[in-house]
Amino acid sequence: MTTEELIAARRAEPWREALRKSKKNKERMEIPRVKMNELDPEYRSHTRLEEVNLGLTKEQAMQEAQRCLDCPKPTCMQGCPVGIHIPTFVKNIERGEFLEAARILKETSALPAVCGRVCPQEKQCESQCIHLKTGKPAVAIGYLERFAADYERESGQISVPQIAQKKGIKIAVVGSGPGGLSFAGEMAKRGYDVTVFEALHEIGGVLKYGIPEFRLPNRIVDVEIDGLRKMGVDFEKDCIIGKTLSYDDLHEEGFKGIFVASGAGLPNFMNIPGENLVGVMSSNEYLTRVNLMDAADPDSDTPVIEGKCVAVIGGGNTAMDSVRTARRLGADRAIIVYRRSEEEMPARLEEVKHAKEEGVEFMTLHNPIEYIGDERGRVKEMRLQKMQLGEPDASGRRRPVPIEGAIETIKVDEVIVSVGVSPNPLIPHAFGGLEISKKGTIVVNEQTMRSSLPDVYAGGDIVRGGATVILAMGDGRKAAAAMDEAFQKM
């Protein structure tokens, strides 16, 4: 069956037809979009660990699901990088079959509870919703995804996928972020013996060390990891492929296939004067200290600078996570400094909204040109060049150009540089014969995710540069299908 046929067949099921007829489209369209239940902004800007979004109630979710018109050609699905059967899961929520909704999500997404929280839905599924054509807000697909996944987890009735008969073939996964985890799950299901190697002392990649607790609680990621363990996936932490074990060592240990999902871990700096002053750091360092090392906990041995006036350079999700963390660690002023305007910011809309509610200041069209330190080498001021928008550049966004002579100095005691990451160079250096792009990413066949080394597949940020959780996951699934097929043919 093709995807189109499956969509049509599911849509034609009697319960679904009845559900469609139960309410007129006009009525459905009159229901206002649900509002996410959230912690109070003033309260939450001082609480480090509590999740901001509280999720929808059953009633809210079922009502929101009614807004979906169950289109015959669901454009939302085209907006989803992994092609989740969106109307099918939404209609299951409408009729109260929440576990079935979760099952549909899991057909295509390994981590729905994660994606429901961190996907940029407004740029993906929700951007294609039919409601937008009539000037109404899109169905809250992301909230519904989160609702179904949370419902399943909290019900204690998590469906454990069926495991095919063991094949006795050993597969190694490099990196335990969303790419590695989804690949591991898919291969375990198919009966392979999967070992995931992780350099850090925690499993989860960016989901653990990067994205903060107030946006994605660790326990949610841990449930997914436990699920994989139950499926027989082995995790080896504190093991760096290319250092602790080489490519040849993996072969010697009997691994027949390798999936590399080592992420885009290398932080970029701007190379401007004063960037190495004490108090200036990458967002990776700041977030790793706070999230992975729990540095803000008085019992943790790891220190973190808790600035009172913190500037975060950049406009992406990482910048928003850093600036909101700074507020929570007690910054009186937490400022986003971004060289373009708010419209060009790559961060999810929700993060920008939440940041503003929490008292974060936005200095858009400003670019740092120098940091100035005190006599002990601690940053105390930054010089900012004011910008204006010029002609569109290669990315289609209007290029920021300096306004000559417009320079401002502001006082800061901590600066977090969040201007992007580069692919982790470890594996590209360690695997001889691997084809690498100019940008340092691993070159793969887009259909199979296979690299220039026949037994090495790759996906996620190491292939795409800094991308998203859902794309990394999608790559993992694709690679698993292709690697399995390659073994079948052997």
Piece of the chain touching ligand FAD by CB under 6 A; list 48-56, 174-182, 267-275, 337-345: 174-182
- How far, in Å, CA of 335 to CA of 346, rounded? 17
Instruction: State which of positions 284-313 bind ligand FAD (CB under 6 A).
Output: 287
- How far, in Å, CA of 330 to CA of 409, rounded? 23
- How far, in Å, CA of 454 to CA of 199, rounded? 24
- Residue 255 CB, nearest approach to ligand FAD (Å): 13
Binding mask 233-262 for ligand FAD (x = CB under 6 A): -------xxx------------------xx
Question: What CA–CA distances, in Å, run from 199 to 53, 239, 397, 427?
Answer: 31, 5, 36, 12
Task: Determine, following the binding rule CB under 8 A, whether residue 269 of this chain makes contact with other proteins.
Answer: yes
Residue selected from 196, 207, 426, 463 as contacting other proteins according to rule CB under 8 A:
426
Beta bridge partners of 456: 258
Amino acid at 385: Q
- Residue 184 CB, nearest approach to ligand FAD (Å): 11
Residue selected from 185, 210, 279, 428 as contacting ligand FAD according to rule CB under 6 A:
210
Q: Which is nearer to other proteins, 284 or 367 (CB)?
A: 284
Residue selected from 48, 215, 289, 340 as contacting other proteins according to rule CB under 8 A:
289
- How far, in Å, CA of 417 to CA of 428, rounded? 25
Q: Which is nearer to ligand FAD, 277 or 416 (CB)?
A: 416
225 binds, among ligand FAD, other proteins, none (CB under 5 to 8 A by kind): none
User: Residues in contact with ligand FAD, total (CB under 6 A)?
Assistant: 40
- How far, in Å, CA of 321 to CA of 272, rounded? 23
Q: Counting every residue, how long is the chain? A: 490
165 contacts 191 by C-beta, under 8 angstroms? yes
Amino acid at 489: K
Tell me which H or E stretch contains 173.
strand 170-174
Q: What angle do CA 167, 173, 179 make, to 5 degrees?
A: 115
Listed residue (26, 32, 50, 28) closest to 40, CA to CA: 50
Tokens of 237: 């932490």
SS3 41: helix
Q: Which is nearer to other proteins, 127 or 268 (CB)?
A: 268
Question: What CA–CA distances, in Å, run from 218 to 132, 202, 212, 375?
Answer: 34, 11, 9, 40
143 contacts 116 by C-beta, under 8 angstroms? yes
Residue selected from 199, 220, 415, 444 as contacting other proteins according to rule CB under 8 A:
199
- Residue 107 CB, nearest approach to ligand FAD (Å): 20
197 binds, among ligand FAD, other proteins, none (CB under 5 to 8 A by kind): ligand FAD
Piece of the chain touching other proteins by CB under 8 A; list 92-100, 122-130, 264-272, 352-360: 264-272
Positions that interact with ligand FAD (CB under 6 A): 118-119, 174-180, 197-200, 205-206, 210-211, 240-242, 261-263, 265, 287, 317-318, 321, 348, 424, 426-427, 460-462, 467-470, 472
Positions that interact with other proteins (CB under 8 A): 199-201, 237-240, 243-246, 249, 265-267, 269, 271, 275-279, 281-282, 284-285, 288-289, 293-294, 297-303, 305, 376-377, 424-426
